Chains A and B, each alone.
Chain A
Amino acid sequence: MNIFSLLSQSGPAETTDYFIAGYTIFFIVMGLYLLSLSLRQRSLKQELAMLAEDLP
């Protein structure tokens, strides 16, 4: 399908699969980034607690 076939058709093109794929990828990438922020924060807090124990 290209722009010429899109323009020559009578109704909207059937592009729902691409719409779903786009938003699925959006949610996955955003979810992974939020997860990464959360994991890094937890790891740093644990490290800070361990360092506090090591300090005299």
Chain B
Amino acid sequence: MDPKPKALTILDIVAIVLFLAAVWMVFFFAPLEAVMGQVQKVFYFHVATAWVGMLGFMAAGVAGIAYLRTQNLKWDIVEVAAVEISLVFFFIAIVLGSIWARPIWNTWWTWDPRLTTAAIVELVYAAYMLLRQGIDDPERRARFGAVYTILGFVSVPITFLTIRILRTIHPVVVGSSEGGNIGMTGDMKIVFFFSLFVFTVIFADLLWHRVRLGQLAAKVEQERLKVLS
């Protein structure tokens, strides 16, 4: 494995500092919501993790297109890294949403269009990780992964748009002035957009680490083949 680049160390430090700042802002700076109380603060990281999840699924689709155009396996490493990180963040988003829903909707889960499509997205990409493992040939696996992530990405904008085009009880956080949205004060907006920014930086940092791990795994695979031959 190549030595850790200095830029990655700097990005690690920046990500940690920003993350601690975001946690402090959520816990001590964000005002208490007048009706929902403390649980409303869950939504800052709920939206941020969902955003990063969708960003990663999109990045995986772009890496899939890049692989099909170049046939370079480095794009397959980027693709699987982006999906893995996004699966973790999207899972957190679903769990945080469920925890918020319990006191507000009086249920942990309901088959609302947004919740249902979000669960489908998570399952689509979990299946991607499982199916990949069943293909031994790296090039065939990469080709399958590329096509899968491009097609699988269709589920992401559908999930994003469900609360805007379908009848749903899920609140619209950004881009709606109609009823059902969460009305945020100025300080809430600061914490909200800061959290989105911080999680984007964390995603970039984790993606870099995960890509390096994928490169190391590829190197181990090559060495293993050398030993066997």
**CB distance B227 to A15 under 8 Å?**
no
With an 8 Å Cβ cutoff, the count of chain A residues facing the other chain is: 33
Give residues 96-111 of B contacting A (CB, 8 Å).
96, 99-100, 102-106
Interface centre among A3, A6, A25, A44 (most CB of B within 10 A): A44
**CB distance B209 to A18 under 8 Å?**
no
Given that A2-B105, A23-B42, A26-B45 are known contacts, is A15 also in contact with B36, CB under 8 Å in the complex?
yes
Indicate if B187 sits at the interface (CB-CB under 8 A). no
**CB distance A16 to B219 under 8 Å?**
no
Write the B36-73 contact mask toward A (1 if CB under 8 angstroms, else 0).
Answer: 11111110011001000000000000000000000000
Inter-chain contacts of A1 with B (CB < 8 A): 103, 106
With an 8 Å Cβ cutoff, the count of chain B residues facing the other chain is: 40
Write the A1-45 contact mask toward B (1 if CB under 8 angstroms, else 0).
Answer: 111001101011111101101110110011001000100110011
Which residue of B is nearest A40, CB measured? B213
Inter-chain contacts of A9 with B (CB < 8 A): 35
For the residues of B in contact with A, the DSSP-based class is helix
For the residues of A in contact with B, the DSSP-based class is helix
Which residue of A is nearest B215, CB measured? A44
Inter-chain contacts of A51 with B (CB < 8 A): 220, 223-224, 226-227
Inter-chain contacts of B223 with A (CB < 8 A): 48, 51-52, 55
Give residues 119-172 of B contacting A (CB, 8 Å).
none
List 16 other contacts, CB 8 Å, given A2-B105, A55-B226.
Answer: A6-B103, A7-B35, A13-B37, A13-B103, A14-B37, A15-B40, A18-B38, A19-B38, A19-B42, A26-B96, A29-B88, A30-B92, A40-B213, A48-B223, A51-B226, A55-B223
